[in-house]
Chains A and B, each alone.
Chain A
Amino acid sequence: MNLGLNDRHLRQSTTVGVSVFSLLIGFEACSGKNRGQIQTQGVEMKRLMKSGTELSPSTIVDGGFQRCHRRTRRFDLFESRMVSLSRVLAVSYTVKPSIPCKTCYLSSRFVQKSKLNSKWRSMATEPDSSSFAPSIDSDYSADKITAGFCIIEGPETVQDFANMELQEIQDNIRSRRSKIFLQMEEVRRLRIQQRIKSAELGILKEEQENELPNFPSFIPFLPPLTSANLKVYYATCYSLIAGIILFGGLIAPTLELKLGLGGTSYADFISSMHLPMQLSEVDPIVASFSGGAVGVISALMVVEINNVKQQEHKRCKYCLGTGYLACARCSNTGSLVLIEPVSTVHGRDLPLSTPKTERCSNCSGSGKVMCPTCLCTGMAMASEHDPRIDPFD
């Protein structure tokens, strides 16, 4: 009877539900408009990039806030921040090449770009003025975090992002993903230019192909495949097949070739090998079909086995391709058992309570930690496997 909904409750809950729903629709509409805005911004950016304009931060900033400012109330604040950011970025872009340490360059670049993009994105996606303040804060904390970012995990490092709010985390993820996307696009365009320029300078093609490994042949003992080699492979293959057909069909009967020992016939050969005589009565068509089938099947097996070996070769050997190693602190379980000393001096006959457990801080409860060799990619040679890597192929 406690569960029964009476009319009043029903009406109340319906009203609440409807209002919530309409609010959600309202937000959806706003964000839909926002999405459209982002899309137009994205299109604008693409246009900028197509026109060959260098992807300078000021361009993005200007393009970005022109759309955004209509939605923001604290436009002035943001405009000034964006302008100063772009100035900082412009400075940092010019300063960067002079930094000798490659690693410093990488980490500082990471910091700067994240500053820009996260701000831009947070502006674009959060029309509510109330969320401006947190987004600024998230940027600053994001800066602090990225400035201290380090690729090797340690016992304290998984907590790097633990102090951020959920919304901040989502913003950060979104901004980083968009950054990755943009940078991949940049890599693609740079590779186009690289190819064009090297072709102009007459640099040999093979020098450029050292980033991606040579395609190894699946069949053992054969040289590695490249696209040029492939034609040779085709030619060899077809000529071999033609040759064997010719041999079997024309040459052998003409020469009355008997491939048995000492020119014996098939029946003699079978009996000399001490095999059952019924083998000599096999129909020639059946014999050739069987022989061909056996040949094909074993060839396919060889190819498959070699394929497996090649794939294994590409796997990171430390984590066996999984990208993770078992956490030693919790022994792969994800939880630590808290052991409290129990005194039995004053103990009565009370049963012991089950020990409490807590989440393992090393692996945050997942039971596994990053493999530092392959950096969680699971591959021996981590590279971006992306069609964008070589636009001319």
Chain B
Amino acid sequence: MAGVLLWVVSPKGNATALLSLIPRSVNKPKKRSFKRVSAISGAVANPVRSSEQRVYDVVLKQAALVKEQRGRKALDLEKRSEKTDGFTDWDLLNEAYDRCGEVCAEYAKTFYLGTLLMTPERRRAVWAIYVWCRRTDELVDGPNASHITPRALDRWEKRLDDLFEGRPYDMLDAALSDTVSKYPVDIQPFKDMIEGMRLDLKKSRYMNFDELYLYCYYVAGTVGLMSVPVMGIAPESKASVESVYNSALALGIANQLTNILRDVGEDARRGRVYLPQDELARFGLSDDDIFRGQVTDRWRNFMKDQIKRARMFFDEAEKGVPELNPASRWPVWASLLLYRQILDAIEENDYNNFNKRAYVGKVKKFASLPVAYGRALMGTSKFI
């Protein structure tokens, strides 16, 4: 099911240029809801559909669903409220949302601060999505991951289906169920994320960027797609819905790539390499070089290439933020700018991501806020 829904964004040629960035951070999926309109369209038909194409198909489908849902939304909400009225206790729901907020604050401090820039309703919705994503991630990557079987993931998916139908299992599921009833969020990105977890149980190496792109889509691109309905597209936006989703996807991918690049050393210590093997080979590097953890000139060149690709994804994402709902632009811009700065920090560390953690200081973080605010004020511009 997940396989079918992957649509590739760009043709292979463009993709390789764009995809030179890629660290993987399995344990830190991007929970940022950035919506960027990325116009990576104009795909050249490829005989073998690459990951980018398949992911783009998903994006198109999401956009189509949104248009469809706009018509059906009123009806659905009524139906859902009938079903859930007996199931939800409002105090419990509020408590559930608060708990989601606490979890978010605990595990993703900067992201939490970013959510404080949103409207209260959106904030709660984003927290609920974050907590579900994080719980799913912890199933396979958390401290108790050794007890997880593929069957457990199947059950988790069944729970997801149930909560989308208004039958949540526990209180945190109830928060997401409520969110899903209020905003036109589609189930497919969630299912794709579970599929990504299944993949992660099996894989620890990625042969080429195509595979890595798929992985990044599963763990981070899906988050972008999940959050577009929550953030909302500006009514006056002339951009197509697909392009907004594309940008969101690009932002998710960019975040994941940044994460991967930042955590090369940490992942290597766990025996995982989230860099494409063929690109490593092209620069004369191998897994052993990564495990050894020494910064050589070859490594620097490789990293430069990867960072360039991540920046290209960020640029694609930047095109879409102005198309969002005005209230949502500031937090999205803020997180985009902050995450971009991590790439700068990696460069400042002389590309030593083995031992040093690329860290953006508090001062810099705070300084980005007014810049983000300024950019958020600029609304939707002419869009090609």
**Chain A residues engaging chain B, CB cutoff 8 angstroms:** 102-104, 106-107, 150-155, 157, 317-318, 320, 325-329, 331-332, 337, 339, 362, 369, 371-375, 380-382
Task: Evaluate contact between B135 and A153: CB separation under 8 angstroms.
Answer: no
Show 10 A/B contacts (Cβ-Cβ < 8 Å), sorted by A: A106-B149, A154-B162, A325-B172, A327-B169, A328-B87, A339-B86, A372-B135, A372-B139, A373-B144, A382-B144
Q: Which residues of A contact B236 (CB under 8 A)?
A: none
B257 CB, nearest partner CB in chain A, Å: 27
Nearest Cβ on chain B to A360's Cβ, whole angstroms:
11
User: Is there a chain A Cβ closer than 8 Å to B327's Cβ?
Assistant: no
Question: Which chain B residues border A374 with CB–CB below 8 Å?
Answer: 144
> A103 contacts which chain B residues (CB < 8 A)?
146, 148-150, 201
Contact A157 B148 (CB under 8 A): no
Interface SS of chain A: loop
Q: A155: which of B143, B144, B153, B162 is its contact (CB, 8 Å)?
A: B162
| Residues of A contacting B162 in the complex (Cβ-Cβ under 8 angstroms) | 154-155
Given contacts A150-B152, A151-B148, A154-B158, contact A329 B87 (CB under 8 A): yes
Give Cα A19–Cα B274 distance, bound, in whole angstroms.
Answer: 74
Q: How far is the CA of A337 from the CA of B85 in the complex (A)?
A: 12
Q: Is the CB of B150 within 8 A of A362?
A: no
CA separation between A373 and B148, bound complex, in Å? 11
> For residue A325, which residues in chain B have a CB less than 8 angstroms away from its CB?
170-172
Which listed residue (B131, B152, B177) contacts A152, Cβ 8 A? B152
A80 to B156 CA separation, bound complex (whole angstroms): 41
Q: Are A329 and B149 in contact (CB under 8 A)?
A: no
Q: Does more than half of chain B's interface fall in helix, strand or loop, or is it mixed?
A: helix
Bound-state Cα–Cα, A297 to B162, Å: 54
B147 near A318 with CB under 8 A, answer no
The docked-state distance in angstroms from the alpha carbon of A327 to that of B95 is: 13
Q: Could you say which residues of chain B place their CB within 8 Å of the CB of A154?
A: 155, 158-159, 162, 169
Whether B138 is near chain A, meaning CB under 8 Å from some CB there, is yes
A369 and B167 alpha carbons, distance in the complex (Å): 14
A381 and B143 form a contact (CB under 8 A): yes
**How far, in Å, is A339 (CB) from chain B's closest CB?**
7
Please give, as numbers and ranges, the residues of chain B lying within 8 Å of A320 by CB-CB distance. Answer: 99
Q: CA separation between A172 and B211, bound complex, in Å? A: 46
Tell me whether B99 and A332 are in contact (CB under 8 A). no
Say yes or no for B142: interface residue by CB 8 A criterion: yes
**A375 vs chain B, min Cβ distance (A):** 5
Nearest CB of B to A184, in Å: 17
Min distance, Cβ A252 to any Cβ of chain B, angstroms: 41
B89→A331 contact, CB < 8 A: yes
Establish whether residues A331 and B88, one from each chain, have CB atoms under 8 Å apart when the complex forms.
yes
Residue among B88, B106, B146 making CB contact with A328, cutoff 8 Å: B88
Tell me which residues across on chain B come within 8 A of A150, comparing CB atoms: 149, 151-152, 155
A337's nearest neighbour on chain B, judged by CB, is B86
A370 CA to B171 CA, complexed, in Å: 11
| Chain A hits for B170, CB < 8 A | 325-328, 369, 371
Report A-chain residues with C-beta under 8 Å of the C-beta of B195: none
* B92 in contact (CB, < 8 A): yes
Q: Are B103 and A328 in contact (CB under 8 A)?
A: no
* Distance, CA A152 to CA B167, complexed state (A): 17
Closest B residue to A157 by CB, please name it: B155
Inter-chain contact A151/B149, CB cutoff 8 Å: yes
B174: Cβ under 8 A from any A Cβ: yes
Residue on A nearest B162 in the bound complex, by CB:
A155
Pairs A-B, 7 closest by C-beta atoms: A331-B89, A328-B174, A325-B170, A328-B168, A103-B149, A326-B171, A152-B152
The answer to whether A332 touches B92 (Cβ under 8 A) is: yes
Chain B residues, CB < 8 A from A381: 143
CA A332 to CA B155, docked complex, whole Å: 22
Residues on the B chain within 8 Å of A371, using CB: 170
- A281 and B156 alpha carbons, distance in the complex (Å): 73
B350 touches A (CB below 8 Å) = no
Bound form: Cα–Cα A259–B36 in Å: 63
Known: A332-B89, A374-B144, A375-B147. A152 touches B172 (CB 8 A): no
Interface contact A362-B147, CB-CB below 8 Å: no
Least Cβ–Cβ distance between B314 and chain A, in angstroms: 31
A318 to B144, CA, bound (A): 14
Closest to A102 in B: B146
**B192 contacts chain A at the CB level, 8 A cutoff:** no
Asked if B102 is at the interface (CB within 8 A of a chain A CB), the reply is yes
Interchain CB contact under 8 A, B92 and A152:
no
A342 to chain B, nearest CB (A): 16
Q: Which residues of A contact B86 (CB under 8 A)?
A: 337, 339
Residues of chain B lying within 8 A (CB to CB) of residue A153: 155, 169
Residue of B with least CB distance to A320? B99
Which residues from A are CB-within-8-Å of B95? 326
**B107, CB-defined interface residue at 8 Å:** yes
Q: If A328-B174, A331-B88 touch, does A317 touch B106 (CB 8 Å cutoff)? A: yes
Q: Are A317 and B92 interface neighbours, CB within 8 A?
A: no
B173 part of interface (Cβ distance < 8 Å): yes
B92 to chain A: which residues have CB within 8 Å? 326, 328, 331-332
CA distance A153 to B167 in the complex (A): 14
Q: 7 additional contacts, CB 8 Å, given A318-B135, A371-B170, A373-B144?
A: A104-B149, A152-B153, A155-B169, A328-B169, A329-B167, A332-B89, A339-B86
A86 to chain B, nearest CB (A): 26
Contacts of B158 in A (CB 8 A): 154
Contact (Cβ within 8 A) A152 B155: yes
A373 to B152, CA, bound (A): 12
Interface residues of B in 343-376 (CB under 8 A from A): none
* Selected contact of B172 from candidates A106, A318, A375, A380, CB within 8 Å: A318
Q: Do A106 and B147 have beta carbons less than 8 Å apart? A: yes
Instruction: Determine the chain B residues whose CB is within 8 A of the CB of A329 once the complex forms.
Output: 87, 167-169
Which A residues lie within 8 Å of B139 (CB)?
Answer: 152, 372
* Cβ-neighbour of B135 out of A373, A375, A382 (below 8 A): A373
CB atoms of B102 and A373 under 8 A apart: no
